[in-house]
Amino acid sequence: MTLAVIQLVSQDDILANLANARRLLEQAAAGGAKLAVLPENFAAMGRRDLAAIGRAEATGQGPILPWLKLAARDLSLWIVAGTLPLPPDERPEEKAHACSLLIDAHGERVARYDKLHLFDVDVADQRGRYRESDDFAYGSQVVVADTPVGRLGLSVCYDLRFPELYSALREAGAELISVPSAFTEVTGAAHWQVLIRARAIETQCYVLAAGQGGTHPGPRETYGHSAIVDPWGQIVAEHDQGEAVLLGERDSAEQAAIRQRMPVARHRRFFSAAHLRLPGLE
C-alpha cells in the first residue's frame, strides 16, 4: 500500500500552484501511490484575499475544488488536499476555516477537517508576526476516515504541538495521520522533526508530513523537510527544500506487531490536575 507525500513551494498564483501540484500528483500516481498528501496552503500561499477565495469555492465559482475532483478521478488517487480556505458547508457568508479535505479516487469528498489550532505566534524571522485567526475560524471536530491504505486521521501544521489531538485520533482508530504543513524556517529547524517523530511514536501511526519548503510572498521562508515517518518513529523518506514527491509503503503487519509488543493505547491512564499532589501544597 503505497503512500505519497508532496512538497511544494507555493506562490500567490493559484492556477500556477495547481499546475505544479498536478504535475507532482501525476508522479505520485505513476509511482504506485494510492493516497497522496499535499501541503498546507498548497493553492493560495501568501494571498490576502482568503475570504473571497473561500466564498468563491463554496459557491462553485472557484478553480480549486473542481481541480481536486478532476485530479483524483484522472489519476485514480485519494488526495488529502493540504488546506484551502473554506467557510462552513452551506454558510458561505461566514468566516473561512483552514480546511483539509479528503477526496477519494472518484473525486468525491469523504471527509473535512477544519484546523483546530491556529498559528497566532511571534517568530524571529523576516515576517515576525503570524495571526491565522485574523483570516480563519477555529475548527471543533476530530476527524478520522477510512481509506484504501488504512484509517486516516487528519491534522494540520500547528496541531503538531498539541499531542492530545493525536491521542484522540489514535483512540478513534487512526492508523495513519496526515499533517499538511507550512512550518517557518525558524520553528522548523528547532522542532519539526522532533514533533513529527514524537507524534508517530506515541500514536504508533504512520505520519504523512507534507510541507512547504522554500521562499514565498509575505515574505515567508518555510522549512520543508517533508517526511514519511513509520509507527516506530523512523524516517522512511525525507526531502529538505524545493519540490518533491516522497513515496513509502505501509507495512500493516509490522504496525500491528509494534502495537502488540508495546500496547501503549491499553496502558494509557487519564487524570486531571485535581489528582496531582505537589510538594508543599498538600
Q: Which one-letter amino acid corresponds to residue 117?
A: H
* Biggest CA-to-CA distance, the chain: 66
Rounded CA-CA distance 38/7 in Å is: 7
Residues pairing with 127 in the sheet: none
- Listing DSSP states for 78-126 in one string gives EEE---EEEPPTT-TTSPPEEEEEEE-TTS-EEEEEE-SS--EEE-SSS
Catalytic residue check, 115:
yes
Catalytic residue check, 69:
no
**Residue the block writes with cell 480549486:** 64
Say if strands 78-80 and 97-103 run parallel, antiparallel, or are unpaired. antiparallel
CB 77 within 8 A of CB 55: no
Q: Which of 34, 157, 238, 243 is catalytic?
A: 157
Q: Identify the burial level of 54 via C-beta atoms within 10 angstroms of its C-beta, where 0-12 means exposed, 13-18 middle and 19 or more buried.
A: buried
CB 136 within 8 A of CB 95: yes
Q: Which of 99, 115, 221, 238 is catalytic?
A: 115
Residues 6 or more apart whose CB falls under 8 angstroms from that of 281 comprise none
Catalytic residue check, 205:
no
Active site residues: 40, 115, 157
